[in-house]
Each structure stands twice: as C-alpha cells, then as structure tokens.
Structure 1
C-alpha cells in the first residue's frame, strides 16, 4: 500500500511547509498508516542534516592539468574570412553554485544511503525513557519520550499551552556541549498530538531538550 502524500514527509520533517500545508499534512498523517510508518523511518533526517557543514560542500575549482597527448586547436579564422574575433563571445565563467548544490545533494544522498538505511534495520536500544517539564513563565507543559536506536534517539513530543500559529524548533543538547536540531513543527495541531523528532545522540548522552520559538525557549525538558 502506498500514499502519494509521502513525498511531502521530507519537507514536513525539515520544517519547510508553510503553516497551512503543515496543518493539512498533520491531519492527513493521523489517518494514514503509510505516512506514519514512513515518518518514523525518516525521523533521523533532521539530525543527520544538522551535522552537515558548509566546509563539507566545498570542492576544488582549479582547472585540470592539460593532457600532453591532446593536440592544440587550430587558430581561429581572422577578418579575411569575415569573422571578427573581437565580436566573439567571452568564455563562460565557471559557476560555483551549481557545483555546490550538486555536492550538497551528494552529501545528503550519502547521509541517507549510508547512514540512515542500513542503521534503521537495527532494533530499539535498551534505553527508553520519558521526561516531563513545565515552564512557569510561558505556561507550556511538555513531555518527551526518548527511544534508543542503533542510529541515535527517536523522539516523540507532547505539548500543551503553546502559542498558536507559530513554528517550534527542538534543540537537543548533549552532555559534551554539542547541539542538534531534533525537529520542527507548527503549533496548530490537535491537543495530545504526538510530534516526531530525532537526534544522532544516544539517550544516555542527552542533557536536555529545548523547545524554541523565535530564539525564546518555551520549555526545557530534562531527566
């Protein structure tokens, strides 16, 4: 069984859908077993892409050394043949962005093909915990279910009293001081909705989870 809306899962997990599209997709997922299964399978995507650095996409742009076996081209025809070299088009400039985009796509494919697919065949790890927290200033109440996996940690969030019409970002902090983006979601969802996320950090290395809106921490969830 397949669903033609699974193609939107990547954009949903990366927070690229606008609020109306996101709300529509979340309503669809509640009743679609195929999309829910694919959402769990692709849950590590935001954490993996969060580790890609701009330096990973840089490629050398020097011209290759000339091949000594190649013969030089004959001289271009001069004005006596009705051709004016001054009017010839300049050589095309080497474009950097298409190569960077191609490199970025390659890095993403490697991350998905090498890291995601093989490791998803592993079962749950021994660590499965649930954390609860509330924030007296924002009034937000949240709980997080952390499930240990061979590739990191699967996250499921529940939130109450969040402001409507905003986008939340989940920041995962580990005990070594590193951070990853664990997911994005809109707050226009049904009460009690379970929100998926992921991180490459193992459960026992996670120090806290911050739910952030516009650089403001709504709530921090800790052990």
Structure 2
C-alpha cells in the first residue's frame, strides 16, 4: 500500500532547506499513509519531536494506518482505478431503451394484426359477434282473446320435469300485478309466473309448472285480485286404455 502511495505522490526535491521544502503539517497525512520518501520521513520525524499539535493529530489518525496495512496490493489498485466513464453508462442506458422500444413495437404489431383480421372478417361478411340461435318451436301454440280485449299468445313445451310456458300479451292492465296459472286435469292449480304490469300493457314472460303437458286442463291470466282476465281451455287427452 505504501509503495502505491509513493508511486502516486513522487518524492519532492528538498533542496537541503527543510523549512522551505517540507510543510510538516500537510505531510502528516502522507506520513500516516506511508507515502513519504526517506528524506521527507526524516524531516517529518524531526518536526514531530517538537510539535505537540502534530503529535496529537497523529494519535488520532494512527488507527487508520493499521487498517490500510491490511489492504492487499490488488485491492488497493482496484480502488485506485477510475470509475466507469459517462459514455459507458450512456451505452447501458441506450441498451435498455432499445429493449423497451422492441417490446412496444412487438405489442403494436400484434394489435395491428388483430385489427386487420377483424376488418377482413367484416369485409368478408364474417361477424365475430356471438351467434344467437332461435328458440326451438314450442310443442303447442295457442292464442286467446280476453273478456276485455286482452290478446294472449301461449307456447307450451313438454319437459321431463313438467311444462315450460312462453307467454306474450298485449292490451293488458297497466297497473297492479298479473299472474299466470295452470289448472291440471284433477283441478289442482299451480302458478307459472307473476309480474308487475307495464305502462304499455305489453309483456313477454317465460314460466314453468311441474305438470306434464298432457295433464293440463286450462291456463288462466289473472289480475291482482285473482280475477280471471283470459282463459285457455286445452283439448282433453283420451285416457289410456286398460288391457
């Protein structure tokens, strides 16, 4: 370590005049670091014997010399090497900017390809919207006119669990609650659905009952007071023949 410091700070020409050639107070640091030449070291020690201030400062900085003595020459040379210059740092920053630009360009290309695919699909008459398939035709359809002009259309679908009803009505009451009821062949009644009246007097509704289609006797549209506004009588089904 001392040799490196002597290389970094060459010995000065003392010219035989100690007072002019050596500033002993300044040379205190060089002495601690081992950077003085033999002539400078001799002059400093002569000064130190008669200078209380330098002796006190030397006592404070003496531990530094011990720590520096534990640093090997290779580590010391590494510490003395210059830091990376600005052009080198600039090159690293430019590399990061280039990578970011490539990612942005890749995302832009992907989005553009998607837009072109959508445009081509539209031009070819291929629409990417979900396909809405029409509901299957009901097993039975009926229309009935109520006592006060209500127009009612019913579509009935037989299910394993009962019957699905599709109701469509117009000219209905515009206030209160309306409901749809199913009467089976035994006279039992099940509610298929209920809804609040609309201002237009029109309603579409899908309901269900746990009654098989061939067991339905009639279907009734009722108002909030349970008054029957319209009723559909289904044709009777013949009873199965007993063997």
How does the TM-score come out when normalised to structure 2? 0.37
By relative contact order (CA 8 Å, sep 6+), the higher-ranking structure is 1
More strand by share: 1
TM-score, length basis structure 1: 0.41
Q: Which structure carries more helix by proportion? A: 2
